C-alpha cells in the first residue's frame, strides 16, 4: 500500500509555537489590556485541551469570571495576541523542530502530496511560514486551518477535508501530530498517525498515544538523532519516507 500523502499539524509538530509563541503572546495581550492574568506553563498546558485560541480565551474567561464573555472582547484579545505572536516570530523566538524541513523536502522530491491541517487561524500559520519556512507554499500547497471547518480537532473534519483537497486516500496517508486531540482527529478520519512529542505533550502517559503507529521525541537529524518511544526501529535516527511507509505496511 504505497504512501500517498503527509498531512502536517502545525503547533507543537512543525514548531514549538505553543511554548515559545502563543503562550507569551497571550500573556502580552493580557498585560497590554490591563488584565491581571498570566498563563503559566501548567495553566496553558491545561487549556490546550481546548482547540483554538479564540475558544481557549472564551473558556478561560468563563472560568475566571463565571459568565460567558462578550464575543467582541474575546475577538479584540485574540487580535492583539496575534499581533504579539507575529512580533515574536519576527524576533526569531520560534524555530522549526528537528527534521521537519528535511522530511518535507524529501516528500516533495518523491512526489508525495502534503498539506497543513491545524486548528490555528490562517494568519498565524502564514506568519510562522513567512518567518521560518518561505518555501511552504511549494512544499505544502494545501492548508486546512481553523476557519475552514465547523468542528475543530479532535473532530476528524479537518483531516477528511485535507485528504479530499489533496485527492489522497486516508488509508494511504500519514498525519504528523503531537497531541492527543490531533491523534484522535487523524485516526477518526482513517489516517495512520505518527506522534512527535512536543514540550506540552512530553508528559502525556504512553497510553494516551496508544492508537499512534509510532511515537518519537522528534523527527530527527543526522546530527540530532531522535528517540523511538514506540514503533519500528529507526536505525538512522531520522524519520524517513521508508520509515513512514513501514507504518502503513507493518510486519
Cβ neighbors of 12 (< 8 A, separation 6 or more) are: 18, 178, 179, 198, 199, 200, 201
CA distance linking residue 166 with residue 171, whole number of Å: 13
Active-site annotation holds for 148: no
Active-site annotation holds for 217: no
Q: Are 53 and 117 in contact (CB under 8 A)?
A: no
Going by DSSP bridges, is the β-strand pair 113-117/142-144 parallel, antiparallel, or unpaired?
parallel
Neighbours of 164 (CB within 10 A): 13
Cell numbers that stand for 47 in this block: 487549556
Give the position of cell 511560514.
129
Give the position of cell 498585560.
31
Cell numbers that stand for 187 in this block: 485516526
CA distance linking residue 153 with residue 169, whole number of Å: 20
The Cα angle at residue 98 between residues 92 and 103, in degrees rounded to 5: 115
Q: Which residues are catalytic, by number?
A: 9, 11
Amino acid at each position: 500500500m504505497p504512501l500517498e500523502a503527509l498531512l502536517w499539524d502545525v503547533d507543537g509538530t512543525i514548531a514549538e509555537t505553543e511554548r515559545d509563541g502563543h503562550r507569551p503572546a497571550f500573556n502580552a495581550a493580557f498585560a497590554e489590556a490591563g488584565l491581571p492574568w498570566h498563563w503559566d506553563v501548567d495553566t496553558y498546558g491545561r487549556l490546550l485541551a481546548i482547540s483554538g485560541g479564540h475558544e481557549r480565551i472564551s473558556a478561560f474567561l468563563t472560568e475566571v469570571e463565571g459568565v460567558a464573555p462578550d464575543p467582541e472582547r474575546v475577538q479584540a484579545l485574540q487580535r492583539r495576541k496575534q499581533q504579539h505572536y507575529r512580533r515574536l516570530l519576527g524576533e526569531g523566538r520560534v524555530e522549526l523542530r528537528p527534521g521537519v524541513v528535511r522530511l518535507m523536502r524529501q516528500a516533495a522530491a518523491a512526489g508525495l502530496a502534503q498539506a497543513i491541517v491545524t486548528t490555528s487561524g490562517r494568519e498565524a500559520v502564514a506568519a510562522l511560514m513567512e518567518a521560518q519556512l518561505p518555501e511552504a507554499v511549494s512544499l505544502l500547497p494545501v492548508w486546512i486551518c481553523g476557519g475552514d471547518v465547523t468542528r475543530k480537532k479532535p473532530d476528524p473534519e479537518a483531516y477528511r477535508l485535507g485528504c479530499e483537497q489533496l485527492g489522497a486516500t486516508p488509508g494511504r496517508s500519514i498525519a504528523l501530530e503531537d497531541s492527543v486531540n490531533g491523534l484522535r482527529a487523524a485516526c477518526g478520519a482513517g489516517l495512520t498517525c505518527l506522534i512527535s512529542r512536543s514540550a506540552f505533550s512530553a508528559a502525556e502517559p504512553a497510553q494516551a498515544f496508544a492508537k499512534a503507529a509510532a511515537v518519537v521525541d522528534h523527527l530527527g537529524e543526522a546530527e540530532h538523532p531522535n528517540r523511538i518511544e514506540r514503533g519500528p526501529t529507526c536505525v538512522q535516527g531520522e524519520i524517513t519516507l521508508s520509515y513512514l511507509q513501514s507504518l502503513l505496511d507493518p510486519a
